Amino acid sequence: MPPAKTHWLGGFRHGRVPDMAVTDIASRTYNHGWRLDPIVRSLLDTDFYKLLMLQMIREFYPDQRVTFSVINRSQHVRLAEIIDEGELRAQLDHARTIRFTKKELIWLAGNTFYGKTQMFSPDFINWLANFRLPEYELNKVDGQYELHFHGPWTHTTMWEIPALAILNELRSRQAMKGQGRFALDVLYARAKAKLWSKVERLRKLRRPAAVRFRHPPPPRFSVAALVRRGRQGRPRPVLHRHLERAAGDGQRSRSDRHQRA
């Protein structure tokens, strides 16, 4: 008889903590003495659905050119006055140097997701081997940064997660500057205590809860509205159909239901 599968939360529920590397986050934050501490270190550090969408976009719209933009809507948070432009450009430039490694592509090609093997086609995996994030356009507008990414939809779409991560992390790092080692230690100790209180709540559950971390289920809604198309900025109906087919859940999007109502 093969051993029964155990849930990752089982160790917590029985009072045992799984073995894991412990990082002294406060010391790491305090000792920022290196020239560049990369925020984006792998192109796989993204939402899983982005890869699923990318495969669909490449299949149906390989030549569609779009512009993806990041604009801070919280006007009271003046990012251009908080984040150094040189540091921002350095992080964006570094992200453009990253490629999918051979090990990462092997992992994508050979892994099982949602009980399905070979979710990514061999042709798509080979295409990823030469993938690179496209160039960016960075502007300062009234105390804010505006980031624009022009090019094929197959490439601009992959800037979404890295761009947001870079902006958020640089803002956090700026907030940490000037704090002493002890103050940082207290700050992160409180954060870990808050996290552990949530783990203890999970331990009290009769059955392990379905906790979402990195790989969300396939999208059940159309994200085509993120890309401006046509005179009214709306996606063409055929795009909705392709997105719904790619989601694979057999459900129509809300917009589609309203149109047919």
DSSP 59-105: HH-TT-EEEEEEE---TTS-HHHHS-HHHHHHHHHHHHH----HHHH
With bands split at pLDDT 50, 70 and 90, how would you rate the model's confidence at 31? low
pLDDT value of position 222: 35
Give me the pLDDT at residue 204, please.
Answer: 86
For residue 157, count other CB atoms closer than 10 A to its CB: 21
Does residue 257 have a pLDDT over 80?
no
- Phi first, then psi, for residue 225 (nearest 5°) are -65, -15
Average pLDDT, integer, range 69-93: 94
- Please report the pLDDT score of residue 232 as a whole number: 43
pLDDT at 10 over 70: no
Overall average pLDDT of the 169-197 stretch: 88
pLDDT of residue 207: 59
pLDDT tens-digit map of 118-141 = 899 999 999 999 999 999 999 999
Q: What is the pTM of this model?
A: 0.65
Confidence band of 175 (pLDDT split at 50, 70, 90):
confident
Average pLDDT, the chain: 77
* Neighbouring residues of 66: CB distance < 8 A, sequence distance ≥ 6: 150, 151, 152, 153, 156, 227, 228, 229
Whether 199 shows a pLDDT value over 50: the answer reads yes
